[in-house]
């Protein structure tokens, strides 16, 4: 009886092993999702590429999906795009290939959160290109947005309730408003660091940014990573006073500060330092902070 049962189990595993593997949680896929969420797009791209070369992952669309959306994000990196001049076209072709698959609808439904952020980042990029008068590139990016995301439901609503920006209605914030943000922030210079603090009695990093922005009519999520995710992403060269700068210590967004410099000036921020409280730091003179810059975001474009 035992031998018959053992033989039956082995037979079932052989016959249906592929199906089981396609349904089971795969740690390699979890890593792709985690790294993408943390903004490690180069790592996602390389890992997904390696997985596409391995037959054991052929059962899933996920490697192809993560390769395509990481390419869409990397295409916005000026230096990466210079080394990979066809990355945007390749990303578009790969994404459209995924759309043709019968499982694409389920995949997109399960990853709506990521797709919303990708669409928002591309739309922000398009708006930036339009502001700078780069008409040809703007039209190319806008056409890609329209083609890739057409018919994918509910990608215009952000997790924080805001809507994806429209480059045709984008309004650059009044410089006086940015000045008010910095004035509010500097009033807290010398306030001590307090873990989980969000009042003038003491601030942690994201407690400080959320307090300053709230004093100026902008409500931010409480955590630094959520502030990054819900912000409109901007390029470093376009960061202005009142925008936010985010840092990654190797495990995801771990610190946030408020930019107090304008484009063309040495990059400087006001932030809550765990050792000194609210201070102003010249990032260009700090190897520690320079190496950990993860990205920039803004809440003051309208």
Cβ pair 271, 257 in contact under 8 A: yes
- 62-95 pLDDT, tens digit per residue, is 999 999 999 999 998 888 888 999 999 999 999 9
Positions in the chain whose pLDDT score sits under 70: 1-25, 153-175, 301-302
Q: What angle do CA 167, 170, 171 make, to 5 degrees?
A: 155
3.40.50.2300, 3.90.1720.10, 3.40.50.300, 3.40.190.10: CATH of 175-298: 3.90.1720.10
Cβ pair 123, 145 in contact under 8 A: yes
- 138-171 pLDDT, tens digit per residue, is 899 999 998 998 887 655 544 444 444 444 444 4
**Distance (Å, whole) CA 104 – CA 65:** 9
pLDDT at 175 (0 to 100): 63
Domain ranges (residues) in the chain: 21-149, 175-298
Cβ pair 72, 125 in contact under 8 A: no
> What's the alpha-carbon Rg for the chain, to the nearest Å?
22
Task: Specify the pTM.
Answer: 0.50
């Amino acid at each position: 009886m035992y031998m018959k049962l053992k033989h039956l189990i082995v037979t079932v595993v052989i016959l249906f092993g592929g199906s089981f593997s396609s349904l089971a949680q795969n740690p390699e896929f979890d890593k792709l999702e985690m790294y993408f969420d943390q903004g490690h797009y180069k790592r996602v791209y390389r890992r997904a590429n390696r997985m596409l070369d391995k037959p054991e992952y052929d059962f899933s669309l996920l490697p192809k999906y993560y390769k395509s959306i990481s390419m869409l994000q990397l295409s916005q990196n000026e230096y990466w795009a210079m080394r990979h001049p066809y990355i945007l076209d390749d990303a578009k072709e790969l994404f459209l290939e995924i759309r043709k698959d019968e499982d694409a609808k389920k995949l997109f439904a399960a990853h709506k959160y990521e797709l919303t952020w990708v669409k928002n980042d591309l739309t922000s990029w398009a708006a930036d290109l339009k502001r700078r008068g780069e008409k040809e590139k703007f039209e190319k990016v806008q056409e890609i947005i329209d083609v890739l995301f057409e018919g994918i439901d509910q990608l215009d609503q952000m997790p924080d309730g805001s809507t994806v920006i429209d480059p045709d209605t984008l309004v650059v914030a009044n410089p006086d408003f940015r000045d008010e943000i910095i004035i509010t922030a500097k009033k807290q210079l010398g306030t001590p660091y307090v873990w989980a603090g969000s009042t003038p009695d003491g601030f942690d990093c994201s407690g400080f940014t959320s307090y300053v922005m709230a004093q100026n009519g902008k409500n931010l999520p409480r955590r630094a990573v959520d502030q990054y995710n819900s912000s409109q992403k901007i390029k470093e060269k376009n960061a202005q006073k009142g925008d936010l700068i985010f840092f990654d210590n190797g495990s995801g967004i771990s610190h946030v500060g408020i930019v107090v410099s304008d484009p063309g000036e040495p990059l400087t921020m006001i932030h809550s330092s765990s050792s000194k409280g609210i201070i102003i730091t010249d990032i260009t003179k700090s190897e520690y902070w320079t190496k950990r810059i993860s990205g920039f975001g803004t809440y003051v474009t309208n």
